């Protein structure tokens, strides 16, 4: 396991039991709400939430449509919490790369406030393209920080922190990664403290 991935696993294992009321949990809530309101869902869709945490996003999406809800996370404690809360959903302890899914088997992939933890973002995007069905879609929510904060965080802070953060992306950087790996339609927008991407295969 990569060092940053291991740092993420350790950190989220520590905060899993009180995640919803933690500072991070409160921050992520806005992103979950925006995603749950904007994701295009159809009855029976196979949805894979990567870095799913305790399953909150999948719960919100399941309220809208009868989906096949699947979540993966590197944190054992987060997955345990998700299984206890939502026993009718499928949760597994697995990394974001490579994805343990067969080719063209998933309709929708979601990542909420976790893409900046991925040590191989290009590899993950390539995997998304592989496992998504024709016309499948990736939805990503990320923190929306200004250029100065991004620069200092990426250049200095993340090198010393043990939070598992790898890189905060600008709107253009995130868009370019998905276009470069063959996604045909990439839409991205900023809203308050969130950066939101929709990429169609």
Q: What is the pTM of this model?
A: 0.96
CATH number for the domain harbouring residue 149: 3.40.50.150
Q: What is the pLDDT of residues 82-97, one digit of tens each?
A: 999 999 999 999 999 9
Transcribe 69-118 into DSSP letters.
Answer: EEEEES-HHHHHHHHHH-TTSEEEE--SSS----TT-EEEEEEES-GGG-
For the cut 90, the answer to whether the pLDDT of residue 1 exceeds it is no
Q: How many CA atoms lie within 13 A of 18 on its CB side?
A: 5
Domain count, the chain: 1
Domain that holds residue 185: 3-200
- Average pLDDT score over the chain: 96
Q: What is the pLDDT of residues 44-58, one digit of tens each?
A: 999 999 999 999 999
**Exposed/middle/buried for 93, CB within 10 Å: 0-12, 13-18, 19+?**
middle
Closest CA to 198 of 126, 140, 129, 135: 140
End-to-end CA gap in the chain = 29
């Amino acid at each position: 396991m990569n060092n940053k991935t291991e740092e993420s696993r350790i950190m989220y294992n520590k905060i899993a039991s009180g995640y919803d009321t933690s500072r991070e949990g409160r921050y992520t809530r806005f992103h979950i709400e925006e995603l749950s309101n904007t994701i295009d869902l159809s009855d029976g869709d196979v949805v894979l939430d990567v870095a799913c945490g305790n399953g909150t996003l999948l719960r919100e999406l399941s309220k809208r449509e009868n989906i096949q809800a699947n979540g993966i996370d590197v944190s054992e404690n987060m997955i345990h919490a998700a299984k206890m809360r939502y026993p009718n959903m499928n949760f597994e302890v697995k990394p974001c790369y490579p994805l343990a899914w067969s080719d063209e088997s998933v309709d929708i992939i979601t990542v909420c406030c976790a893409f900046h933890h991925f040590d191989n973002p290009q590899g993950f995007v390539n995997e998304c393209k592989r496992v998504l069905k024709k016309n499948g879609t990736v939805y990503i929510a990320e923190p929306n920080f200004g250029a100065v904060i991004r620069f200092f965080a990426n250049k200095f802070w993340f090198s010393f922190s043990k939070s598992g953060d790898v890189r905060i992306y600008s709107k253009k950087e995130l868009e370019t990664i998905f276009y470069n790996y063959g996604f045909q339609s990439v839409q991205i927008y900023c809203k308050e403290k969130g950066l939101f991407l929709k990429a169609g295969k």
